[in-house]
Structure 1
Amino acid sequence: MFDRFSKPFLGLRGRKLNIAIAAVAGVDMLLFGFDQGVVGGVLTLESFSRQFPEICTTAACTAGLSPSAANHQSVLQGISVSSYNLGCFVGAILTICLGDRLGRKRCIFSGSLIMAVGAILQCSAFSLAQLIAGRVICGVGNGINTSTVPVWQAECSKSHRRGPTVMAELCIVVGGVALSYWLDFAFAQLEPSSAAWRVPIAFQLLFTLTVLATVMFMPESPRWLVLQQKDDQNDGDRKALEVLCAIYDCDADDAFVNAELEAVRVVARQASRGTFRDLFAMGKAKNMQRTLLAYGIQVMQQITGINLITYYAATIYENEIGLSGTLSRILAACNGTEYFLAMFPAIFLVERIGRRPLLLVGSVGMALSMAVLAISTSIASKTDNTAAGIVAATFLFVFNTFFALGWCGLPWLIPTELLPLEIRAQASALATSADWIFNFLVVMVTPIAFQSIGWRTYIVFAVLNAAIVPVVYFLYPETMGRSLEEMDLIFAKSDGWLDTVTVAKTEPRHYGRHGEVLRDMLPDVRDELGRGDGIGLGDGPNKQVTASHVEK
């Protein structure tokens, strides 16, 4: 019984180990989504408003208040809800400094422990100050985790499965949002007891404790392990080889895993000299371009306006469309469930049609959805038109569908694919900080915007979504089916920002759709990037690997 715990990775290998890695990462991502949605569903509860009257913006709370007083309550609500995102930003910045020192697993463990402390403070809060403090602390832990988990998952995945794997995890994030909405609705029946909001917030402890109990038994990133060989030159290689053998369920003398290890070692030679300043160096590797692309796609994800809905769905249905509190929470839960289901097509399409088409279709759909929301809510607010209210409620669902299709998972996947190993941890954390600071901005200004400009808020986001389309089309190369090392070659061969998309289309592929080796990548790495001298990479034992071997 206990022998399994004496073996590496609980004795798991191959497919079982890959499933275990995905499960641990999935629980962490479920927690990420749950935290995004859980507070939005309790904001309009009577028990919550009674405990924190300073941030209540329902009609009952603001009746009789002057416009300036009502605006002040909106500002306080924005601060209280978005303080979590500010904490996430701090956590992402901390990961830039600590990510490569602690390693992927220890970062995730530390982040989960911090989140547990924040959750306890929130669910036991009797003052607004304690609630905000708990949200900030919880956010710090989540910022560390969301900066690390996608990198850890990508670096422990095979190139032809990386897209579906990470997209599936982001589907789990949305599942966490949906779960939080339904839990909010279920426990709302306990009103006027404070358990109606304390229990849903405390529920996140179940996820944090699960991650804390399992993550340290999982394998460390083989790419990070190779980077650690400082005192003992072979120690990092030995540990990385152990991980690769377990992931692929192969022996240590297997040709494929040794070729994989050598390809990683080639890139790691440069990575060992990487510093934070390298994020903004150009040169042949185009580090600055790749860092800004990773940063930019996270910014664009937030300015789509998704968290206007994720955090405030129930509030929008009740305050902006005029539905009852119970119906608003039901619709918010249904909205989150539809959002979750809409993620599944993206999982199957991401490795079939590519990243770029999904991003472009999603942006166009979201721009049109926001335009319809602006028109319908304008009509509903002026004429009390029931049909217009129904259209507005419907297009909140439509918007989520297009976001789920293109923009929910890909902004987390693409940075891990674009960034070179030497700056991947720091640049991924920087990109994640962009997600959180702009998330903070949107969540902060949403109550104020609805209070000040009403339905025109949707026009702002319609314009922003439309502006995203040319940015993606001209600047973001296709990464479908490319190994992490192949992307180094693509950027090395490009002449500038506008040339990278073309090079990605024309550069011969080194791996097939099922992971089979089409051509030896290692000579190209050596010739284009000046890496690999003296370790015999031109002979490429991976030439003999078959597709069935990769699928093992």
Structure 2
Amino acid sequence: MILFWLHRGVFALSEYRIYIRGQVPRSRSLFLTARLTMLFSKASGTKYFGLKGKTLQRAIGGIAGLGFFLFGYDQGVMGGLLNLKTFREQFETINTVDDTSLHTATIQGTAIAVYELGCMVGALSTIYLGDKLGRRKVIYFGTWIIIIGAIIQTASYHLGQLIVGRVVAGIGNGLITATVPMWQSECARPEDRGLMVMIEGCLISGGIALSYWLDFAFFFVKVGSMDWRFPVAFQILIALIIVAFVLEFPESPRWLVKVGREEDAREVWAALENCGPNDDYINYEIHEVKKNLAAEEQMTSWQTFKLIFTYGERKHFHRACLAFWNQAMQQLTGINLITYYAAKIYQDSLHMDDVVSRALAAANGTEYFMASFIPFWSIERFGRRKLMLFGAVGQACTMGILTGTAWAADPNNKDNRAAGIAACVFLFVFNSFFAIGWLGMTWLYPAEITSLEVRAPVSGISTASNWLFNFTVVMICPVGFNSIQSYTYTIFAAINACMVPVIYFLYPETAGRSLEEIDEIFKESNPKTPWDVVGIAARMPKRDHYNYDIESRGNSMGEQYPEGEPKPEHEEVPEGYTSETAGENSNSSVEYPDTTTHQ
């Protein structure tokens, strides 16, 4: 182990020599970047670990993704602990193995689901904190709150203590999940935005898979209550990595412009785009942001919140409703029926033994993680709408099949081993459809669909809706399985089927659009016929983003791009638009050349 880290340290030193020569590093390793930062960044006075361009954007995606990895871990860890003997003995009032009454099932559902209520409170807090503190600081403080909640849970000896710990951790997680997609979307290029947020979705499933395997591994540990305390405590390690590095990354440049810190925004955009701070592209972006903020820039937080419920030219309420229900529908698919109770379903409903049920839950989480890689390729190729429709149709069919197979596998109806195996398979299939169509989508779409001036409060409200319906699902599932058994799946089959026309008629495509282009789409829509926005998005031509002359951009920086490095391409700026015009009144009109392509 010592030799391994010595080798990595030598490699880090060799990579650092690339940084001090002013070149873009070839390595894309986030953890190497972290070590370089700790060793050299402060001493050399460089910012953002010396990263620039796409490398910096990917590093932001990595540290932001750790927040979602932590979110996934927290969601999955409790499911494998509920039936542990030591856990049941410690918290007898939620022991549904020895007490199968409806009352005990209700208490168990409540104790597990209060985490979602904490998340909802945290998400709603970003309505005020999101624009007050900025994106990075909200993530930073939210992660510390998670650490406090995890410590309380790990040290719990009574159910009340466990519940308090879950609520506290939930508040922190709500802050993170409402903020990370905004930060990521506001720092990424239009053509990369979908991929970056899909990576976050992938890391949710990665966290879930890790929690399942850790639960499975510690099932065999027979040292006091270590079998459940260590898996709960493990999340602290992930959280410490986030708090160590998140403040070293750049703030959202769009938020910086919003709060009047234009020079800081130029510096951040220069790093993100690997260009000079007065580059025409940066002038253009700042102009666009200012133009969109001009009418509301003097508003207080309360006035901004009230703005959400207005229509006007920007259609804020319409867009807020789309964001709210997009997040709500993700939970109403029934995914957390499986995520929270996978091991319990395999053991109690499909009658597997302790070891097999936990092994299947871990395998299910692993397959879920692998399926979540598919949107990396498909999110920009097929767009948001098609993936959501694909997922909803597949989920509806799968839940319908699960109703029949789970019923047939119940010994009270007919002891059918083949039906039990089929039910196990379709639990895997459901996760695959969800991973492709919905896992990362609802963390991407609301951040895209809302305008900058209300993005933070709408993100808070929409994320709160996710946690509200998450709470509802996690709360009712133990009661549902206790009362109507396999017919619980029928409810979710019907909901998924109803989602299909809602998505098809009401949700416009946002793939390949800048956030400011999406504003233009909604400006064209009629408030009396909100479904028109789907057709407008389909008809409106897309701009050619980032079509700049690369040599002039390199010259503006006073340096050449290293040989072999990918060179960013930028959108052509209106003729006559320079750094001088960027400082003019943001309400001034600018004639834009025809840089659109029809698709």
Change (3 A) 1:197 1:423: same
- Which amino acid letter does the alignment assign opposite residue 507 of structure 1? M
Aligned counterpart in structure 2 of residue 25 of structure 1, from 59, 64, 73 = 64
Letter in 2 for 1:109: Y
Contact 2:58/2:196 (8 A) holds in 1: no
Contact 2:383 2:511 in 1 (8 A): yes
Residue correspondence of structure 1 range 142-181 to structure 2 within 5 A:
142-181=173-212
Q: More helix by proportion, 1 or 2?
A: 1
Residue pair 1:291, 1:427 contacting (<8 A) in 2 also = yes
1:534 deviates by 5.3
CA RMSD of aligned residues (A): 2.1
**Offset, 1:191:** 3.1
1:202-221 equivalence runs, <5 A? 202-221=233-252
- In the superposition, relative to structure 1, how do residues 446 and 499 fare at CA in structure 2: closer, same or farther (>3 Å)? same
The answer to whether the Cα contact below 8 Å between 1:302 and 1:438 also exists between their aligned partners in 2 is: yes
Q: Which amino acid aligns with 2:499?
A: I
Counterpart among 389, 407, 418 of residue 378 in structure 1:
407
- Give 1:548's aligned residue: none
| Residues 122-521 of structure 1: pairs in structure 2 closer than 5 A | 122-191=153-222, 193-229=224-260, 236-272=261-297, 273=299, 275-381=304-410, 382-495=413-526, 496-511=529-544
State how far apart, in whole Å, the 1-side matches of 2:418 and 2:150 are. Answer: 41
Deviates more, 1:513-522 or 1:74-83: 513-522
Q: Work out whether residues 338 and 401 of structure 1, in 8 Å CA contact, stay in contact via their aligned partners in 2.
A: yes
Are residues 283 and 53 of structure 1, via their aligned partners in 2, closer, same or farther at CA, if it must alter by over 3 Å? same
- 1:424 deviation in Å? 0.3
Amino acid at match of 1:32: F
Alpha-carbon distance change, 429 to 522 in structure 1, aligned in 2, over 3 angstroms: farther
Identity among equivalent positions (%) equals 45
Task: Tell me how far apart the structure 1 counterparts of residues 114 and 324 of structure 2 sit (CA, whole Å).
Answer: 21
1:23 to partner: Cα distance: 1.5
Amino acid at match of 1:487: I
User: 1:413, 1:292 → 2: CA distance?
Assistant: 15
Cα drift, residue 270 of structure 1: 3.3
Q: Is the 8 A contact 1:262 1:537 kept in 2?
A: no
What is the CA deviation profile of residues 490-515 of structure 1, one whole-angstrom value per residue up to 9, with x for unaligned ones? 00011231100000000011135998
Tell me if structure 2 keeps the 8 A contact 1:318–1:324.
Answer: yes
Rate the CA distance shift 1:321–1:110 in 2: closer, same or farther, 3 A: same
Q: Deviations over 1:157-196 (max 9, x none)?
A: 0111000010011101110000000010011110363110
* Alpha-carbon distance in structure 2 between the residues aligned to 1:452 and 1:459: 13
Distance 2:417 2:238 in 1: 41
Partner of 1:53: 92
Query: Which residue is 1:538 aligned to?
Result: 591
Q: Is the 8 A contact 1:510 1:519 kept in 2?
A: no
Contact map agreement 1:509 1:518 (CA 8 A) in 2: no
- Give a deviation string over 1:356-401, Cα, whole Å, max 9, x none: 1100010000000000000111111110110111111110000000
Question: Contact 1:374/1:458 (CA < 8 Å) preserved in 2?
Answer: yes
1:106 aligns with 2:159: no
Is the contact between residue 4 and residue 11 of structure 1 (CA under 8 Å) also seen in structure 2?
no
Q: Cα deviation per residue 1:403-434 (whole Å; 9 max; x = unaligned)? A: 00101111110001100011000001100000
Give the number of aligned pairs: 522
Given the superposition, is the C-alpha separation of residues 413 and 513 from structure 1 closer, same or farther in structure 2, using an over 3 Å criterion? farther
- 1-side partners of 2:138 and 2:233: how far apart? 23
**Counterpart pick for 1:44 among 60, 71, 83:** 83
* Structure 2 CA distance for aligned equivalents of residues 502 and 516 of structure 1: 29
Q: Is the 8 A contact 1:47 1:191 kept in 2?
A: no
Kept in 2: contact 1:281–1:287 (CA 8 A) = yes
Matches of 1:4 and 1:473, distance apart in 2: 54
Tell me which amino acid in the other structure corresponds to 1:30: F
SS at match of 1:275: helix
**Partner residue, 1:527:** none
* Code of the aligned partner of 2:396: A
CA distance in 2 between partners of 1:150 and 1:414 (Å): 9
Does the 8 A contact of 1:4 with 1:10 survive in 2? no
Unmatched 5+ residue regions in structure 1? Answer: 230-235, 524-530, 545-552
Counterpart CA distance in 2 for 1:459 and 1:192 is 41
Q: Is the partner of 1:351 in helix, strand or coil?
A: helix
Could you state the TM-score of these two structures normalised by the residue count of structure 1? Answer: 0.91
1:9 lines up with 2:34 in the alignment? no
- 2: CA distance, partners of 1:114 / 1:281: 34
Local SS of the residue matching 2:510: coil
User: 2:153–2:161: 8 Å Cα contact kept in structure 1?
Assistant: yes
Q: Kindly indicate whether the alpha-carbon contact (under 8 Å) linking 1:490 and 1:503 is maintained by their aligned counterparts in 2.
A: yes
